[in-house]
Amino acid sequence: MGAQPRTRVAAELDRQNLRLAAFAVEAQALTSGALRHPVAGHRPAVVLYESVLALLREARAGHPTGRPTDTRRLMGPVPINLAHRVEPRPSHRQVWATHTLARFHGSVPVGGSAGIGTHTIFRHSRPAPFQRPDRVYVDPRIPMPAHPTVAAVAIRAAMQKLGHPYVWAAAGPATFDCSGLVRYAYGRAGVNLTHYTVSQWNEGRLVPPRSALPGDLVLVGHTLHHVGIYLGAGWMINAPFTGHYVDVVPVPTHIAGLVRP
């Protein structure tokens, strides 16, 4: 199979996953009572984002301190890919507060980076070509709420980059690697994180899976080689690897832990 057919298959899988995640997180929000009615319309990115917004509003209303200790009533049973194989690691005692549920006040400049570029082979793969923006699956139109939380803005910023190519060491605004997407998204939300997964591990509070909220960082593997932003129902948004695009995927089964910036 040539490069072009592979990228078309990857793009179609991204679309299917986005639809599945939208259904799952909306069902989660409806079951918990965070949403009273299904989200109007059929654009999956909007359904997903509005469902995440509802969960965050409910979490903030129940825990104005921004440090809820158990979110299972809101977020449902801990998904199996979060509940198992989380590595035992010490808590981050040096981090006293989190920003996730705080009101958004403005972005911070974090810069960007083109990384190795879109024409350079990395680990035997070439970055995927840019897709045509259709405002649904590629650069989707995501509404901005009137009074968003930091996590809501970070998730919105990341979701607006769906369909953008993964490029190693890139941090936006057009291409991203995994930690670059997280840095870009949280910079838009007013939080300055480092462009390095190992550093991002230490830039928030370590939270157990029973306390997961949308916006938490999902760190993967013993070496912390990958990171995504949690959405709910066992799904996260991430920039996966060379040859693929920013997408929504199930949380991997071997995670190091959840970090709340």
First to last CA, the chain: 41
Residue 68 has a pLDDT of 85
| pLDDT for the residue 29 | 98
pLDDT, tens digit, 9 for 90 and up, residues 192-203? 999 999 999 999
Task: CATH number of the domain at 59, please.
Answer: 3.90.1720.10
What is the C-alpha separation between 143 and 48, in angstroms, rounded?
A: 11
Beta bridge partners of 227: 219
Q: What is the 3-state secondary structure (H, E, C) of 137-155?
A: CCCCCCCCCCCCEHHHHHH
Identity of the highest mean pLDDT range in 78-82, 147-151, 220-224: 147-151
| Structural tokens at position 233 | 């129902």
Decide if 126 contacts 3 (C-beta within 8 A).
yes
Interval 232-246: pLDDT, tens: 999 999 999 999 999
Question: What is the average per-residue pLDDT within 116-133?
Answer: 89
Furthest C-alpha separation in the chain: 52
**What is the pLDDT at residue 90?**
67
Can you give the residue range of the structural domain that contains 253? 3-260
Q: Which of 20, 80, 31 is nearest to 54 (CA)?
A: 31
Give bridge partners of residue 245 from the DSSP assignment: 165
Nearest to 191 by CA among 76, 95, 84, 257: 95
**pLDDT higher than 50, residue 189:** yes
Higher pLDDT pick, 223 / 122? 223
CA Rg value for the chain: 17
Q: Is pLDDT of 142 > 90? A: yes
Q: Which two tokens stand for residue 219?
A: 């760190």
Side-chain-facing half-sphere of 168: CA atoms under 13 Å = 13
pLDDT score, position 187: 98
Residue 65 has pLDDT above 90, yes or no: no
Q: Which of 166, 190, 157, 180 is nearest to 227 (CA)?
A: 180
- Residue 3's pLDDT is 55
Which pLDDT value is given to residue 2? 46
Domain count, the chain: 1
**Residue 1: pLDDT above 50?**
no
For residue 143, which phi and psi values (nearest 5 degrees)?
-65, 150
With a cut of 90, say whether residue 172 has pLDDT above it: yes
Residue 5, pLDDT above cutoff 80: no
Residue keyed to tokens 């607006």: 160
Per-residue pLDDT for 171 more than 50?
A: yes
Give Cα 99 to chain centroid, integer Å.
15
Average of pLDDT values for 59-75? 88
